[in-house]
Amino acid sequence: MYKGSLKLIGNSPLVRLQNIKIPNDVEIWLKYEAGNPTGSYKDRMALSVLTTAINNGVIKKGDRIIEYTGGSTGSSLAFVSASLGLNFTAIFSDAFSDSKRQTMEAFGANVIIVESEGKGITPELIQKMKEQAYILSEEKNSFYVDQFGSKNVLKGYLPMGNEIKRELEGIDVFCASVGTGGAIMGTWEGLDNTDIKLVAFEPLQSPFLSTGKGGPHKVEGIGVGFEPPFLDRNALNEDGTLKNWKWVGLGNYFTLFFDDEEFYVSLFNNIRWLIFSLLAIPIGLLLALFVNQRIMGMRYIKSLFYFTFVINAVVIGVIFTLFYNLYSGI
């Protein structure tokens, strides 16, 4: 159970849109994530990543948390870090809203600005910010959040799907914008219903999902201009919706045995390794019987046989003697 302000994260209300022109048999509901402490659903992700790292002993109170961010993730990480006694450093840019910089600093974050070209959000800018974060994360007592790679990002959004499923029945379509893809896929998994059609939103000026081409835009938090790491492209339709998953039975095994040439290479290598491993037993027995024979020169043969067992310890001893030599050692 979380304490203090962290208890305010999640369990946000569902709000039905009514004063819009839609068919009578259609209902549109919004998950009001602005009710989270920083006004963003990313509070869920920040809480999941940081508490998991603490529970696993990866970080401790007073450590430095690092992430590159357009502001929403940074604000969430700054808030959760302050609540947990951690120090947050944000790699930010002048291409994003200055109000988000102020929010992060209000929560005690150290904000490092990476200058952009024309104040546009581009893949090149994201890469520069990412590189800066990597450099800082190499310092002692630093932890890189990795919002584009950590599995705990998806874990943080599972409760949002669970909350929606608990309050609504008969959901046909779930819509969400895509940055890393963590929110849309994590919530989808939490909904636990593969019959629900999933629709992904992206900026019109940076339609990477639909055209493969990104571009500068002003919509913060989404449309990173490269492949969202958590989005399953194999399940994505041309219209931006995810295909319904289906049971394939033994289909994957048929694909493996009849369509995958590399499978047989791996299978042959494993069989060969198994055969040689089994041969080690009779070969070892034959060698033991051989060295036990009373024939001319057997003492020399035994010496060569046991030499391999002894030389390892001798070499290690010599190396450590050189290491700890009073005058020439290191």
- Residues 127, 264, single domain; the answer is no
Contact 91, 114 (CB under 8 A): yes
15-19, 131-135, 174-178, 189-193: range with lowest mean pLDDT: 189-193
Query: Which residues contact residue 256 at a Cβ distance below 8 angstroms, ignoring those fewer than 6 apart?
Result: 263
**CATH number of the domain that residue 200 is part of:** 3.40.50.1100
- Residues 41, 187, single domain; the answer is yes
| 70 pLDDT above the threshold of 90 | no
- Residues 288, 229, single domain; the answer is no
User: From its phi and psi, is residue 246 left (phi > 0), alpha (psi between -120 and 50) or beta?
Assistant: beta
Cross-strand partners of 17: 28
Query: Which residues contact residue 204 at a Cβ distance below 8 angstroms, ignoring those fewer than 6 apart?
Result: 217
- Residues 99, 206, single domain; the answer is yes
- Residues 29, 60, single domain; the answer is yes
Give me the domain span that covers residue 310: 256-323
Instruction: Please identify, among 246, 279, 302, the residue that sits at the C-terminal boundary of a domain.
Output: 246
Bigger pLDDT: 92 vs 306: 92
- Residues 68, 212, single domain; the answer is yes
- Residues 165, 263, single domain; the answer is no
Give counts: helices (H), strands (E), the chain. Answer: 10, 9
- Residues 154, 276, single domain; the answer is no
DSSP state of 140: T
pLDDT at 3: 61
Bigger pLDDT: 137 vs 308: 137
Q: What is the mean pLDDT of residues 215-224?
A: 76
Instruction: Please identify, among 225, 246, 267, the residue that sits at the C-terminal boundary of a domain.
Output: 246
- 275-289: pLDDT as tens digits: 988 998 888 888 888
| 206 pLDDT above the threshold of 90 | no
Cα separation, 8 vs 271, in Å, equals 56
Bigger pLDDT: 309 vs 90: 90
- 259-312: pLDDT as tens digits: 777 788 888 889 999 998 899 888 888 888 887 888 888 888 878 877 877 888
- Residues 224, 262, single domain; the answer is no
- Residues 236, 266, single domain; the answer is no
- Residues 237, 284, single domain; the answer is no
Contact 223, 121 (CB under 8 A): yes
- 227-248: pLDDT as tens digits: 787 887 655 555 555 555 556 6
Q: What is the pTM of this model?
A: 0.64
